[in-house]
Structure 1
Amino acid sequence: MHLRPLAHRRVVTTRDHRGRLDSQLASAGADVVHVPLIEIVPALGGDDLDLSPFDWVVVTSRHGASAVGRAAANAPRVRLAAVGSRTAARLAELAGRSVEVVPNRQTAADLVEAMPPGPAAVLVAQADRADPTLVDGLQRRGYAVESVTAYRTVTRTPTAEERHAALHADAVTFASGSAAEGWVEAIGQRSPSIVVAIGPVTAAVASAAGLQITHVAADHSIEGLVDTVITALSTRS
């Protein structure tokens, strides 16, 4: 297998920060074009959050974990659930205890299925633009759900140079629906020929915004996203 399968390929990342996605794409040989399209704005006081009325706290991202983790440390009776392993690691670090429920697949629907049956009181900490799948699914399973906005996603306007570089890349990646919406708002519906979404929810949001998604990662993780980019570009000359 080629050790640098993305050599001479330009791949756009759209997350709010450089991180594992950028580094893994670069390790695979890609010329990574980082064009952040969203900014994360905290919306909770964190330590002042009263979790005593709840049996569970559920988070869907590291940002959500950061928002409620210290409050969870002050409420040791509350059980913890997270959508993925890295989100769970961040929540466990701040709360000072293990996260009981982490689904094998990193989607809201799988998190719902991994939770034990209700009734119980659940606080869901998520973004202001969050998909309703998690809250609706927990309610159907008998949970009394209160959703709080842990952070807000604000569209960032890229520079003219960033827009040009993004549109002339070989592929673009979206790790969230808000980034896809930010692309359309800031750049439009034009895109590179290969458009890769981290999962079906992100793909659905991107499609609704007018983007043509060409590939969806089967493994809804950063590693899965990188593997899908490699597969997609390996079929292009």
Structure 2
Amino acid sequence: MEPTSPATPPEFEPSGGSVTFVGSGPGDLGLLTLSGSRAMRFADLIIVDPGADVEQVRALAPAHAEIKPSGSDDEVADILGAVARGRKVVRLHAGDYFTDADAGGVLPEVLAAAGIRANVVPGVTRWSAALSFGGVTATAAFAALDATREVPGIDAWPSAETLVVRTRGALSHEVATQAALRYGLTGTCLSMVGVGTTAQVSEVVSWADVDVADAGECYFIVGPGIEDSRRQRLAWFEGKPLFDWRIIAPRTKDDLGPLVEDLSHYGATTELVATMSIEPPRTEQAMEKAVRGLVDGRYLWVVFTSPHAVTAIADRLAEYGLDSRALSGISLAAVGRGTVEALARLGLVADLTPVVENTTGALATEFPAYDNLIDPLDRVLVPSADVAVEPLLVGLGRLGWDVEEVTAYRTVRAAPPPPEVRDDIKTGMYDAVVFTSATAVRNMIGIAGKPHAATVVAAIGPATAAACEMHGLRVDVVADAPTFESLAESLARFADRRRADQVAAGLPVTKPSQRKRRKRRKPVDPSV
């Protein structure tokens, strides 16, 4: 008996390629499941929704992955062709494919193709996201209505006790008109815009007072769970201490990614401003000699004091057609979490990192002494910036090591930020500024000017706070410990106290940037 053939023959020969449709969640790529994140890590091609944060996607993807927007007429053909060539394809969607009416027709077309290997990773549905971000507990009878394309007549609306209606601002009045037929003009709903973002706004209004015509995607929730007395106890999202705060963080050499993540945990949106630029050394001879020494086995240890030093050595090795394997057999020391992570991206693991304190001076106290009976070489290479690392060099010298320092890169003050950023800094449009070093204070004021007096100033430690005060800034927050985590937590506690003081005084709860601005006086014509 002949095997049954598919109704539609394969358009390509089966291969090692595959396609995974990955759902995430509205407003936040961080809502990816573990399965979705794993699919991203092994992808060769990632197709994303229009307007997606490509940099955020790139951070979750392998270095070689190609990232392109969806929406082309040939999207299905592109996916099938990539799979046929053995590539692993991920189609990323900000939501869930099977519960979003506007997820597109790509999924069924690809799944219908014979012979293709496909997988679907569920995402967080927009309906459950609206309930969760709104702090609303659904009843046992729960239903959803999608009115983003057209508003069905009231007879077609679900009759569940809890109902979530998704629509767009332009259709909101039509939704309110239909809802009033069932619930009455005085019936209430929870109106939500910007769901899952730090710009989220939710309020209980009557259907007669619905006014979100200028909004994009919006939600209306009906049910007993929308009562303010219940939601106030469950308002975990909009109740975050730094919710919707706009924070600026001047960046020097350090990676501030962990700080941005910590501040985001408390509801803030953080903008980084580069105050320092990394440039190659003025002359190349010293670096060329150092790299030749690495290849020829001249050094027993290499001490990396920053991620930029790791990058400088890796780039120079690449110029000679080499990679991180050229460092095999050499012991590596690293100062700072960012430096350790930079080595890890090259497939390298540091043999020594400071335990007590992550500084060059602390590394010198924990470095092993040279032993001429055990150690075959006594030379240590220290690639660093064009600034001295004296505590490290002196400490290693006392331990008997022959230390060779080489300038791997130079640090120079960055160019000023765009005019609109400088203007927002000076006029108090940022709610807070977080300084992670005294250098960041000096450099930011040098290229962008002083923050407005209404802006909350947070410093990572006493030395940074002293630099702020030296430049005439009022310091509101000093971190309990010199870590990003402590800095974010200290700022969040300050915001909590500030909010409590406003409530106790009977004042409306506002952000620092929402102060009353004085009107500019009109110029007086001297001829009048």
Contact 1:91–1:99 (8 Å) recurs in 2: yes
Which sits farther off after the overlay, 173-182 or 39-48? 39-48
Deviations 1:9-61 (A, max 9, x none): 33211226773433432332113233222222244768981323222111122
Instruction: Specify which structure has the bigger relative contact order, considering alpha-carbon pairs within 8 angstroms and separated by 6 or more residues.
Output: 1
Name the structure 2 match of 1:108.
360
Name the structure 2 match of 1:195.
458
SS in 2 for 1:49: helix
Q: Residue 156 in 1 paired to residue 415 in 2?
A: yes
Deviations 1:106-129 (A, max 9, x none): 222322223212474222222224
- Choose which of 435, 440, 444 in structure 2 pairs with 1:179: 440
| Deviation at residue 87 of structure 1 after TM alignment | 1.6
- Choose which of 267, 274, 279 in structure 2 pairs with 1:41: 279
Which sits farther off after the overlay, 153-162 or 70-79? 70-79
Structure 1 pair 181/140, CA: closer, same or farther in 2 (3 Å)?
A: farther
Deviations 1:94-115 (A, max 9, x none): 2x44211112332223222232
Mind listing any 5+ residue stretches in structure 2 that lack a counterpart? 1-235, 318-323, 372-377, 500-528
| TM-score (normalised: structure 1) | 0.75
Contact 1:85–1:102 (8 Å) recurs in 2: no
SS in 2 for 1:64: helix
Contact 1:9–1:30 (8 Å) recurs in 2: yes
Name the structure 2 match of 1:145.
403
Q: Which AA in structure 1 matches 2:489?
A: D
Mind listing any 5+ residue stretches in structure 1 that lack a counterpart? none
Structure 1 pair 210/66, CA: closer, same or farther in 2 (3 Å)?
A: same
Name the structure 1 match of 2:12.
none
In structure 1, C-alpha distance between the alignment counterparts of 2:449 and 2:393, rounded to whole Å: 31
SS in 1 for 2:416: coil
- Choose which of 369, 392, 395 in structure 2 pairs with 1:134: 392
In structure 1, C-alpha distance between the alignment counterparts of 2:359 and 2:458, rounded to whole Å: 20
Q: Residue 230 in 1 paired to residue 492 in 2?
A: yes
In structure 2, C-alpha distance between the alignment counterparts of 1:138 and 1:200, rounded to whole Å: 29
Count of matched residue pairs:
233
| Deviation at residue 143 of structure 1 after TM alignment | 3.1
Contact 1:112–1:137 (8 Å) recurs in 2: yes
Question: Which of the pair has more CA radius of gyration?
Answer: 2
| Deviation at residue 67 of structure 1 after TM alignment | 1.8
Contact 1:128–1:152 (8 Å) recurs in 2: yes
Deviations 1:47-100 (A, max 9, x none): 981323222111122222222247563132321011133422321442x44211
Name the structure 2 match of 1:84.
336
In structure 2, C-alpha distance between the alignment counterparts of 1:187 and 1:83, rounded to whole Å: 30
Structure 1 pair 204/158, CA: closer, same or farther in 2 (3 Å)?
A: same
| TM-score (normalised: structure 2) | 0.38
Q: Which AA in structure 2 matches 1:14?
A: P
CA-based RMSD of the aligned residues comes to 3.7
Identity %: 31
Deviations 1:185-227 (A, max 9, x none): 2134557442323x677x399469747665256254x434433
Q: Which AA in structure 2 matches 1:196?
A: A
- Choose which of 260, 272, 284 in structure 2 pairs with 1:22: 260
Structure 1 pair 176/156, CA: closer, same or farther in 2 (3 Å)?
A: farther
SS in 1 for 2:340: helix
Name the structure 1 match of 2:226.
none
Contact 2:459–2:478 (8 Å) recurs in 1: yes
Structure 1 pair 122/229, CA: closer, same or farther in 2 (3 Å)?
A: farther
In structure 2, C-alpha distance between the alignment counterparts of 1:210 and 1:140, rounded to whole Å: 38
